[in-house]
Amino acid sequence: MYRVAGTNASIGATKSPLALTGGTAVVCCLKELKFYSEGVPGSDAMVVVHGRRSTAVGTGTSVTPGVNSPGMRPAAETAALSELSAEPTYTAGSIFTCSFNPRSPGGQWVAIDRDALICSPLTSNNGVGFQCITVGGGTGVLRADSAFDE
């Protein structure tokens, strides 16, 4: 399993802290996700993050996924972007929604079995991104931590 985290230093609606892109030779399958805000919350209003399929890669800072067992796995082929300055091209709707109170430890999701995994399409430049939809009382940094397999 691989792990990667992304941030959005200036939390804002329609900003993505993390986007993962597979490809024609690799499918990225998410097993765990956690979202939280860092900073003094402005209120108890909920922060809402949508997981969305992307059909074109955005622009951001490349992040190298870590490996849980380095001796047993090669480097990840999935590309990860953080601090996106240009959003990926997202399809309509969402495949995952996480709402959390910014005063709480955050929102978390774990796949209960293989059928619950969130996987990228096996198509070039397609992937999954996590976009803040509602800022609510969140201030400062929005963090997205993920665990995935290929």
pLDDT per residue of the chain (150 residues) written in tens, 0 to 9: 899 999 988 888 889 999 999 878 888 999 999 998 888 887 888 889 999 999 999 999 999 999 887 777 888 889 999 999 999 999 998 998 998 888 888 889 999 999 999 998 888 888 999 999 988 876 778 999 999 999
In the chain the first and final C-alpha atoms are separated, in Å, by 8
Residue 16: domain span: 2-149
CA–CA separation, 35 vs 96, rounded Å?
12
CA of 92: how far to CAs of 19, 53, 89, in Å? Answer: 16, 8, 10
How many domains does the chain fold into? Answer: 1
pTM across the whole model: 0.89
